[in-house]
Chains A and B, each alone.
Chain A
């Protein structure tokens, strides 16, 4: 789970290896807000798999790569 200057740098880093998924850091920031926003709340309870899948789905992170099960 790494940060790159651009997609061209991801391609160079992969050097022909099969890659995973690349998203803009603007999308990553949205994902972080949804995923971690309650992490320090006193009433925190672990997210269910369904809750986390719903976060990914809501942000358009869909398809087999983003399935948690």
Chain B
């Protein structure tokens, strides 16, 4: 099962202010559209060539600021997932997929709104619906398990 990126081990020197502008536009599209933008869409928004968007995305990927797939398209802009997962988050009258349990809580946190997380128990697969109000889950009984130690989170971000 795909899990998170998350982890905060950025190579800050690998991206510059222009890359961060492209990163912010990419996230903006993701929020508005409910799915990952194509490079051409970000290029149109910023009035830049698509090649420059793709080059920036690659630098941002190398800096762990987002994750590309094998084709060079957006796979994760954490906490948002570009592909369907078992973590669906409804917030601000829109729906997104999150990369993992941590990211599922991250969508409401990033948007600063209440959210509802629809997922399942990883063991018994019973559906779980977690309402988050003012940053706090209504149902407090569930638990979260991290299998991989923090220092290894980026070794295989899809597995972590």
Contacts and interface: CB of A to CB of B under 8 A. Distances in A.
A12 B123 contact: yes
A16 interface: no
Interface residues of B, number: 59
Interface of A: 1-7, 9-10, 12-13, 19-33, 35-37, 39-40, 42, 44-49, 51-52, 56, 64-69
Interface of B: 1, 3-4, 6-10, 12, 15, 20, 24, 27-28, 31, 63, 65, 78-79, 100-112, 119, 121-124, 126, 128, 130, 132, 135-137, 139-151, 153, 160
10 contacts: A1-B145, A5-B142, A13-B122, A24-B143, A25-B137, A28-B101, A31-B105, A39-B106, A56-B150, A68-B151
A68 B7 contact: yes
Contacts, number: 183
Contacts of A6: 141-143
